[in-house]
Amino acid sequence: MTPDIYNDKRFGINHNSISNNALNIISRLQKSGFQAYIVGGGIRDMIKGLKPKDFDIVTNCEPEEIRKIFRNSRIIGRRFKLVHIAFADEIIEATTFRAGGTKTTESIEINEKGRIVRDNNWGTQEEDVLRRDLTINSIYYDPFSNEIIDYTKGIKDLKDKKIKFIGNSGERILEDPVRILRALRFAAKLNFTIDQEIVKGIKEHRNQLLEMPPARLYEEVIKLFMTGHAEQSFIQLKAYGVFDILFPNFFDKDQKFNEFYLEAFKETDKRFKLNKKLNVGFIFAVLLWPKIFEDSGISTQLNFKRFYRSIAEAVRKQQMITSIPKKYSSFIKDVWMNQVRFNRIGKKSVNFTKSLRFRAAYDFLLLRNINEEGLDPLINWWTEFKTANYDKKIRLLNTRKKKNARKQNS
């Protein structure tokens, strides 16, 4: 297998954009007699002229040996061993070339569906590239020889803006169905077109995502919706029938919540670009809201019993597919339950505006206005109330109380 080899000057790669820690790791590994390269998103982004956010290292040095060379490292995982090398400002991941295989051996395990459930079968660079998923993420870069090594025409696919799997798309997905989400995520992130072979593989095997560990799917959901391309991720997931697999209990067959979702994710992307804090709990509160809305009758005649029961049930069911850490599940429930407090205006409203979850609940109320009628007066009142000083808050409460009294007497 003969790779295409390029000099990094061809792509205008600036070494100043490379993490000093990554350079030091590669240098030490090479001085110890090993091969070492930057692989994946780091070199992909540099070729595209973007500033890389992280750097992954790949080497023929085995995990235990990496651990000996770098005292600030630790081996992660048993079934898929890799090494985290920790520095004050970042953690860099180092993996060993894998050879893969088609049958279970002492160092690799493949189940009856062709899924790789354990892989510590070390190999060469030529073998390692065939174990990777996307061509655009299988480019190797040696910053000291200035060589970019491309076995899979990944650079051509970058130029053509194509998302392609290495080898047979169906086999790649069977080996690890989470690759479906990775393909859709990179298509959303880079605004690339998905290869038709991948599209075919997604349609055939997307239901196998439900066989994946909930913790892995949770991690992918975070990457899809909290890394600056949430809106496009949602569009991709819906286009290929994957959204309703990840969130099957919240199926919106009439597409009534599409605008709600799109607006929420636009705002999420804006916050990400402005380096504002994003909350996982808020994202899940958005994703799971349609079921709560339909079950509770919150926009018409609220049934409190159904409302509280549907909140608990919604989170419980979703955790069977994508795990949700307890601190975020509590946040989700608070955001939803606080929606009721916006209708219960009284003395406690002053303290409500001071509560930790008020801002998130208020932002959620604004989103609800997209596809719920009659919320404008309530939103206008709370918008004025939340920014008022204490004396003005009391005046607003008294005025509202008088208006309500007149309505009841008329």
Distance CA 224, CA 205 (A): 19
**The two three-digit tokens of residue 139, written as one number:** 């480019």
Please tell me whether residue 166 adopts helix, strand or coil conformation: coil
Annotated catalytic residue within 56, 119, 195, 252: 56
Residue 194, φ and ψ in degrees, nearest 5: -85, 130
Where does residue 134 fall: left (phi above 0), alpha (psi -120 to 50 degrees), or beta otherwise?
Answer: beta
Distance CA 217, CA 221 (A): 6
Which of 332, 322, 220, 229 is CA-nearest to residue 284? 332
Kindly provide the residue ranges of all beta strands, DSSP E only, lying in 164-245, ordered along the sequence.
193-194
Annotated catalytic residue within 54, 142, 244, 363: 54
**Close Cβ partners of 138 (under 8 Å, ≥ 6 residues apart):** 39, 129, 132, 150, 151, 152, 154, 166
- Annotated catalytic, 244? no
- Annotated catalytic, 133? yes
Which of 183, 179, 205 is CA-nearest to residue 195? 183
Question: Containing H/E element for 76?
Answer: strand 73-76
In the chain, the N- to C-terminal Cα span, in Å, equals 86
Distance CA 271, CA 210 (A): 31
Nearest 5 degrees, angle CA 329-CA 334-CA 340? 140
Annotated catalytic residue within 133, 150, 195, 334: 133
Residue 181, φ and ψ in degrees, nearest 5: -70, -35
Distance CA 351, CA 313 (A): 29
**Close Cβ partners of 227 (under 8 Å, ≥ 6 residues apart):** 189, 272
- Annotated catalytic, 56? yes
Residues assigned a catalytic role:
54, 56, 133
